[in-house]
Amino acid sequence: MKGVVFTEFMDMVAERYGYETLDEVLAGAKLPHNGAYTAVGTYPHTEIVALVVSLSSKVGSPPDALVRAFGRHLFGRFAELYPVFFQDVPDALTFLERVDSVIHVEVRKLYPDAELPRFQASRRADGGLNLLYLSSRHFADLAEGLIEGCAEHFKQPLMVQRRNQPVADGSAGSAVMFHVSPASGVAASPDRVAA
């Protein structure tokens, strides 16, 4: 996983919980290089999992909620770091529709060794978007947080429902369908409304 993901994670922890907590989280994660990440380096994705687990035991929030919160934070940072990806994109659903075919294609040009998920996007007749997340890793919570961050960025409330899909026998990866819809006021539980 690219170092930019780690440096942004550490920035979020420092911002929300302070540097002392960040130091304890790094110590608790027992990483081989004591958390010395550079934005352009590449590190095992299991290290971000170790950091999340360490943060979770420190602050008492469940790992999935922390990863989603990180996804929301990360999207805001991506919007600052890569404004060019937002040019001529009129709305949140158009942005999400283009993550696989445009955004991550550009990301791969910047970082040829990036470990990116695949997304299959299809517009529904009701105006919503179905986004199928496919990865050899298990970062659907991160994807959900990024989708929520996208809604916040465009100031367009979205309702996000997710469902695990079967994966091929013997595959260690994950397949998760996100059913994304423009939110029209009140959402029924357990769907989540972002923004």
Q: Which residues contact ligand HEM (rule: CB under 6 A)?
A: 1-2, 4-5, 78, 82, 85, 96, 99, 103-104, 107, 111, 114-117, 135, 137, 139, 142-143, 146-147, 150
CA-nearest of 129, 141, 147, 138 to 167 is 138
Residue among 104 and 192 whose Cβ is closer to ligand HEM: 104
CA-nearest of 165, 169, 167, 166 to 179 is 165
CA-nearest of 33, 162, 13, 153 to 89 is 153
Residue among 50 and 114 whose Cβ is closer to ligand HEM: 114
Residue among 18 and 165 whose Cβ is closer to ligand HEM: 165
Q: How far is the CB of 74 from ligand HEM (least distance, A)?
A: 8
Q: Tokens for 96? A: 């999400």
Residue among 1 and 51 whose Cβ is closer to ligand HEM: 1
Q: How far is the CB of 21 from ligand HEM (least distance, A)?
A: 24
- CA 184, 118, 85, 123 dihedral sign is negative
Q: Tokens for 43? A: 């590190």
Residue among 27 and 36 whose Cβ is closer to ligand HEM: 36
Q: What span, in angstroms and rounded, lies between the C-alpha atoms of 123 and 59?
A: 39
Q: Are 28 and 56 in contact (CB under 8 A)?
A: no
161: alpha, beta or left? (left if phi > 0; alpha if psi -120 to 50): beta
Q: How far is the CB of 182 from ligand HEM (least distance, A)?
A: 16
Q: How far is the CB of 71 from ligand HEM (least distance, A)?
A: 8
Q: What span, in angstroms and rounded, lies between the C-alpha atoms of 91 and 65?
A: 26
Q: How far is the CB of 111 from ligand HEM (least distance, A)?
A: 6
Q: How far is the CB of 31 from ligand HEM (least distance, A)?
A: 16
Residue among 26 and 100 whose Cβ is closer to ligand HEM: 100
